[in-house]
Amino acid sequence: MIRVGIIGGAGYTAGELIRLLVNHPRVEIAFVHSTSNAGEPLCKVHSGLYGETEMHFCSEFNFGAVDVLFLCSAHGRSREFWQENAMPAGLKVIDLAQDFRDESEGYVYGLPELQREKIAKASKIANPGCFATAIQLALLPLASACLLPNEVEVTAITGSTGAGVKPSPTTHFSWRNNNVSVYKPFVHQHLKEICRTLCGLQPAFTGKVNFIPVRGDFARGIFASAMLDCPLPLDEVKALYRDFYAGEPFTFVSDEPVDLKQVVNTNKCIISLEMNEGKLLVCSVVDNLLKGASGQALENMNIICGLDEKAGLRLKASAF
């Protein structure tokens, strides 16, 4: 059994990660750390775990008790954590914050569809952002073929869980319900990792991604749409995408238009392609808490531990 620990256990990503780990056939959870909830049952914070585990949050942790450590604290806290604690040799770390997504300090960017072999040899993984996952998977095949034009237009709408568990004026139900709004247009923090990846595959790409994030009036899921000029006919574009994602366990190319309900509660990304008068529309859907966060973190754990990549992640969407 692989023994795992979780730092920052009270948030949405930690709750989803625990939900997956308690049913993983090869995992035992050694501890879930939370200074604000120490001593409380996990199910008091994550009510969906009622009846699944009798574990309690702890205030102390023991690196020696685990093989893999997940960092689920807020952005910026992971770097602080390693300034306060010495990382022991042999420990595998998967960070769900954005602190090391530039692959600094020996971290590997954990997008399996792009870096599976590199991930398998790594001990420190920086899990991608949710918007970044959906948008990169929409554009990777084009970048690999050097087909990205000078500018790409992207709009993506996300559920309220993407803002985290801590309440804010724009996540309050009475504001979010029956409402849609734009935030951080052109400057969203995930653009850095998106452009870094795309420019790495297509060095001549200018990195101009005009990204408009949108807050949706639903809890979870991301629907991203990218529009760009493309010189290839649609059948060749579809062949390019199918070849790029051939054999991928979680990313699929659909002949039909996609919708969020196909992926919510799964680790899947489903992509659809349409074209009109030289304009290509790429739509990509993911669950922001699973393929966009905790599911992908578990996928990365499976890879670095030499397990079946789909272990603990054989999840079906609920269509109604």
- Tell me the two tokens of residue 129: 């952002």
**Which member of 43, 58, 72, 130 is catalytic?**
130
In our burial notation (b when 16+ CB lie closer than 10 A, e otherwise), range 118-134 reads bbeebbbbbbbbbbbbb
283 is catalytic: no
- Using CA atoms of 278, 280, 281, 286 in order, give the dihedral in degrees to the nearest 10: 180
In angstroms, the Cα distances linking 302 to 12, 218, 273, 313 are 21, 30, 30, 10
- The number of C-alpha atoms within 13 Å of 247 and in the hemisphere containing its C-beta is 6
- CA–CA distance, 95 with 46 (Å, rounded to integer): 20
Q: Which residues contact 214 (CB under 8 A, 6 or more apart)?
A: 155, 156, 157, 158, 180, 181, 182, 183
How many degrees, rounded to 5, is the angle at CA 290 between CA 288 and CA 295?
Answer: 150
Pairing of strands 208-215, 181-182: antiparallel
- CA–CA distance, 134 with 120 (Å, rounded to integer): 22
- CA–CA distance, 264 with 188 (Å, rounded to integer): 23
- Indicate which residues carry an active-site annotation: 130
